[in-house]
Amino acid sequence: MGRAPCCDKGNVKKGPWSPEEDAKLKHFIDQHGTGGNWISLPHKAGLRRCGKSCRLRWLNYLRPNIKHGQFSDDEDRIICTLFASIGSRWSIIAANLPGRTDNDIKNYWNTKLKKKLFGILPQRPPSTFVHNINQTPAKSFPGLGTSYSTTSSLTAPSVVQSSDGSSCNQFSQSNMDSYFYNELGDDENQKLIASSGDIANGLFHF
């Protein structure tokens, strides 16, 4: 027996929101608030939508002061710094960027920033790659309300000679994503951010 669905899947509309639906949702929340219950909200608002869908639509597009469009260099830097500290905790990163939503930042990271920082890396994750994060309050990050601890078992980066003769660590992209916040100290993460030129080549120095 599976988990009970959050709504009657057969009786709800899916796909893009129409302007009429947006208006209904916005009007209802303006008048009554969310009432602390997203599941019953669509029925009350006269919408044939799943509560979760309403919540997403409101949080990502309809609520006041949402900022869309181009990310600034400052925002880029904040995203990169926080990602280095806490990984893909998009909601926490979004909390540090007023007007931006976690969905926006996630999309931006996946489509633009990742490429900007890493370049296009063709490697697949190594077969020995194992990734496991436990969310328990142990390690704190300055400026963030939440504490996290992380554990992991990662394939070590391969050490290669760089052009200046010194040794570097070479990562695959997915390995790097996790290595960022699992293995490096805060100081090392800061160095990592500072060396985005090397990162673009898949190389960086510790």
Partner DNA sequence: AACCGAATCAACCGCCACGAT
Partner DNA sequence: CATCGTGGCGGTTGATTCGGT
Stretch that binds DNA, among 35-43, 150-158, 165-173, 181-189 (CB under 7 A): 35-43
Q: Does 108 bind DNA (CB under 7 A)?
A: yes
Q: Does 67 bind DNA (CB under 7 A)?
A: no
Q: Does 102 bind DNA (CB under 7 A)?
A: yes
Buried b (16+ CB within 10 A) or exposed e, 40-76: ebbeebebebbbebbbbbbeebbeeeeeeeebeeebb
Q: Does 129 bind DNA (CB under 7 A)?
A: no
Q: Does 75 bind DNA (CB under 7 A)?
A: no
Complex with DNA: residue 52 or 191, whichever CB lies closer: 52
Contacts of 92 by beta carbon, 8 Å cutoff, 6+ apart: 82, 86, 144, 145, 146
3-state class percentages of the chain: helix first, strand second, coil last, to nearest 5: 45, 10, 45
Interatomic CA distance for residues 51 and 165, integer angstroms: 58
Complex with DNA: residue 3 or 20, whichever CB lies closer: 3
Cα-Cα-Cα-Cα dihedral of 168, 172, 174, 180, to 10°? 0
Stretch that binds DNA, among 30-38, 74-82, 153-161, 165-173 (CB under 7 A): 30-38
- Which of residues 53, 170, 175, 189 is near DNA by CB under 7 A? 53
Which single residue is written with the structure tokens 């990602």?
Answer: 83
Closest CA to 53 of 22, 80, 31: 22
Complex with DNA: residue 71 or 204, whichever CB lies closer: 71
Complex with DNA: residue 53 or 173, whichever CB lies closer: 53
Q: At what angle do helices 186-194 and 73-86 cross, to 10 degrees?
A: 140
- Which of residues 48, 68, 77, 124 is near DNA by CB under 7 A? 68
> Footprint of DNA on this chain (CB under 7 A)?
3-4, 6, 9, 13-17, 34, 36-40, 50-53, 55-57, 60-61, 68, 88-92, 102-104, 106-108, 110-112, 115, 135
